[in-house]
Structure 1
Amino acid sequence: MATTKAHTTSAPPKEKVAVPALELKETQKQMQAKIQEHFSKTGYTLPATEENGSLMEEEKFWLSYECQLRYLRATKWKVDDAIKRLESTLKWRREFGLYAHITPEYIEPEAVTGKEILFGYDVYGRPGFYMIPSRQNTTEATRQIEFAVYMLERCIDLMDESVESLDLLINFADKAKNPSMSTSRTVLSILQNHYPERLGKALIINVPYLVNMFFKLITPFIDPVTVQKLKFNPDVVKDGIFAEDQVMKDYWGGNQDFEYVHEKYWPALVNLCKTRKDHWMENWRKIGGTVGIRESDYKSDTRDGPSESIEAQSETTHKREQNPSTDVAKEEN
């Protein structure tokens, strides 16, 4: 009996291991309130910005209650440090081009070989972000870094309510091309400075001697807390990190026979992430559209809203391409 190949990621698991909610002490609640007050004050502008320093709608959306707590935890609950880091990230997001420059069309040439794939969720509901260095297809370091950040942002789009982190799954098989020290340090700097508390686990397999030495070289540049999340050559199913039906069969021991087909995967991923993000922002506007709204509040109906899998999105897109008159009829009605 032939095995059906998967070409897109699956929907989040209906049941996941619950992560206990962080119980804040009264002093910690007061710290978050100070950050909220800082960014909510009348006439607030980002310091040292050449352009308009007023917060854009998407920046207010990003500055959620949970985001503020992530930066507080990352700075060991130091309010002034958390504010400085939040403002640094807000400026970096503008300068890096997350709101205008790094579009799906611009970044797509990096995606065609499937060297970075979002597929499945671990037992805690964290999205799986696969990196396959052997599929490297470009030489432009800047856009390679931009692509990694773009896919990281899409990972965040795929996080359901109460999920704040992701799993990296890196496979160095098939004569993987090792990134330069400069590129690696840049990506690490971005992750540590602008995506604190976002890494669940980094799962790395098929580590050859030279790559192992490479990791030893870059470890001093990695935060000690992050180093503890690194796992080399794990069995992700036996170790209870992923269920079989949420992880790829090849190399990773799951039962999902995945094949990357760019023409199916890419538009489906882009459409699904946009649908989810648009839906969340619509909910966010309805409940105030301000800094400090809880992510859980605007994500609470995701399962009843745009939560279909990328596979379903791909099928919908294909049907529309085959019969575009269907959508026209809907619009006329």
Structure 2
Amino acid sequence: MKLTKELVPAEILQEIFDSPIPYRDAAEEKLTKDLFGTLSPEDVEMAAQGSYAYWVAKHSSNPPTEEQKIKMAMREARRHIYGVKYPDAVKNIKETCKYRRERNISLYRACFADGAEFETEEEAQFVEKLKASITSEMKKQLAYVRGKDKENRALLVVHPRTDKSTVDEDFIANLIFIVERAAAVTEFSSRGKEEKLIVVLDFGTFSSSLSPPMSAVKGIVGVLQSKYSERLKNLVILDPPLWMRTLYGLIKPFLDPITKAKFIVATGAKKKHEVLASLISDDQAMPFMLPNGKLVGDVEMDRFLKTVPFHCLYDEV
């Protein structure tokens, strides 16, 4: 696969590469360097490609330096050290690199890109199937990246399903695609200063009869937990059904403080405004989030997929 067009200005890529790795302290920096030292050259490349900026630069006329590759791989390594023992961190990052390689994540980023050319029949067939899977799932459950929080983290918005039928692999492929997009938007909106995203689940018109198969849900949850470490800042659940609110109330006392802080549940206009106004400004919110939200108009799936660049917010184009 190759890109025949420059997708991002070189000065923006440089700004992202210059952004420091957000170590919390010296101990974290040492642990990250130790973890990085366990990676093979092939794994270092895959870890670096966790950064969309690195991936774009690699396919540009001004490819990244060895120093930049190491830095972006170190960023990926740092995200894998939280909440696990060191041997598990080593296992997790190696499995993540293997997963990204075998999943052809590079093609997820390029499948709708303007100027992407696929050099083998195998790549071309994979991309056509991937595009069909994503388009099919988007018609059944619209998800997109629109707006950002006050720290320039992308908002990944997921609406209720309108069709129960699905193929597990299509469901998983679509969510991987949208999470990759949200991570890229955060990286570019913050110029590399932020790495996380906010997921907004809108249950306003939810019907349990249209829920996807549990096997598909379990599959994507496993992928997100193990292959996208430390990517979630908050999961905001708007107008959840009673059973979900009840379940959350039962498990909330048993959650550790860090996990508990990630979950935000809000029902009704007053509560939604109370919790969301602290995260999102009006000019980055849709009206169903905040009453004075300035991001008006429906999201057109074709425009989101085919016109809006992978690393851009819906309303930036």
Q: CA deviation at 1:252?
A: 4.2
Q: Give the conservation status (yes or no) of the 8 Å contact 2:145–2:157.
A: yes
- Higher helix proportion: 2
Cα displacement (A) at 1:156: 1.0
- C-alpha displacement of 1:110: 1.8
TM-score (norm 2): 0.66
Structure 2 equivalent of residue 264 of structure 1: 303
Looking at both structures, which has the greater relative contact order when contacts are Cα pairs under 8 Å and sequence separation is at least 6? 1
- 1:247 is the counterpart of 2:285: yes
3-state secondary structure, aligned to 1:111: helix
2:288 alignment partner, SS class = coil
Any unmatched runs of 5+ in structure 1?
1-19, 46-53, 277-306, 314-333
Instruction: String of CA shifts for 1:91-118, please: whole Å, max 9, x gaps.
Output: 2223444244464454222224661111
TM-score (norm 1): 0.63
Letter in 1 for 2:145: L
Q: By how many angstroms is 1:207 displaced?
A: 1.2
Counterpart amino acid of residue 194 in structure 2: V
Q: Secondary structure at the match of 2:233?
A: strand
Question: Which amino acid in structure 1 is aligned with residue 49 of structure 2?
Answer: F
Provide, for residues 135-172 of structure 1, a one-character-per-residue CA deviation record: whole Å limited to 9, x for no partner.
44742222112111110001111113211111111111
Change (3 A) 1:218 1:179: farther
Residues of 2 paired with 1:217 and 1:142: CA distance?
32
Task: Assess, with a 3 A threshold, how the Cα gap between structure 1 residues 185 and 173 changes in structure 2: closer, same or farther.
Answer: same
Structure 2 counterpart of 1:35: 35
Contact 2:154 2:182 in 1 (8 A): yes
* CA distance in 2: counterparts of 1:221 and 1:99, whole angstroms: 39
- 1:143 equivalent in alignment to 2:177: no
Contact 2:143 2:157 in 1 (8 A): yes
**Given the superposition, is the C-alpha separation of residues 266 and 242 from structure 1 closer, same or farther in structure 2, using an over 3 Å criterion?**
same
Paired with 2:159 and 2:264, the residues of 1 have a C-alpha distance of 16
Unaligned runs of 5+ residues in structure 2 are: 1-20, 51-71, 108-125
For 2:212, the aligned partner's letter is P
Residue 236 (structure 1) shift: 4.8
Cα RMSD (Å): 3.3
Alignment of 1:96-245 (within 5 A): 96-100=103-107, 101=126, 103-104=130-131, 106-112=133-139, 115-136=142-163, 138-159=165-186, 160=188, 161-176=192-207, 177-212=210-245, 225-233=258-266, 234-236=271-273, 239-245=277-283
Residues paired across the two proteins, number: 244
Aligned to 2:74: 65
> 1:93 aligned to 88, 100, 103, which one?
100
Distance in structure 2 (CA, Å) of the matches to 1:220 and 1:141 = 33
Q: CA separation in 1, counterparts of 2:170 and 2:250?
A: 24
